[in-house]
Chains A and B, each alone.
Chain A
Amino acid sequence: AQTVTQSQPEMSVQEAETVTLSCTYDTSESDYYLFWYKQPPSRQMILVIRQEAYKQQNATENRFSVNFQKAAKSFSLKISDSQLGDAAMYFCAYRSPDDKIIFGKGTRLHILP
């Protein structure tokens, strides 16, 4: 069965600094998608970034980038120039070929002013 593991329940970073959130997953599939979703307090979940497993190039969206290591089944999120608005729960997610999304337990990110 596919699993997604986020080993950091909480992290803190100083405003304007860089932080990396870790995620590992387990699957026997070769074709899948990986996502990072952000869930601010009392607000809805929004997509931060996604990565197609067949693409070797790491995805980048402005200040957000991933380090995708397919062989190691690792998918970390790097946030550069952290801003107060980045404070949220971040979920790593795996999307299987049968279209189900499996989420990790999340990492709560605090931004220190």
Chain B
Amino acid sequence: DTGVSQDPRHKITKRGQNVTFRCDPISEHNRLYWYRQTLGQGPEFLTYFQNEAQLEKSRLLSDRFSAERPKGSFSTLEIQRTEQGDSAMYLCASSLAIGWETQYFGPGTRLLVL
């Protein structure tokens, strides 16, 4: 097992464009989380899935953001009509949904909106 992977690692886009990021969790993990981390801050929770069900969304997740996990494996996070304030590192993490299992993080996708 190679751990949580994310693609792309870096993305530069122009304001107003749509972007999509992918996260592949550790294979046996049924929980998947998205976080956003801005420079000099700790990660902030965005949303999480158990299998294919999206269980919770933060109020940070505006209507321009949508996340899916169609088959309970990989997940995508789409940002529509990007704004400069969306520039951040987007982190994905996964865990088992048993008790208090540790979340394991991917390397992140760094987004720069020009």
Contacts and interface: CB of A to CB of B under 8 A. Distances in A.
Interface of A: 4, 33, 35, 37, 43-47, 50, 52, 91, 93, 95, 98-106
A44 B105 CA distance: 7
Interface residue SS majority, chain A = strand
Contacts of B35: 101
Nearest to A9: B40
Interface residues of B, number: 20
Contacts of A37: 105
Contacts of B31: 99
Most buried by B among A4, A43, A45, A105: A45
B108 to A, nearest CB: 7
A103 B44 contact: yes
B42 to A, nearest CB: 3
Interface of B: 31, 33, 35, 40-45, 48, 56, 91, 100, 102-108
A101 B102 contact: no
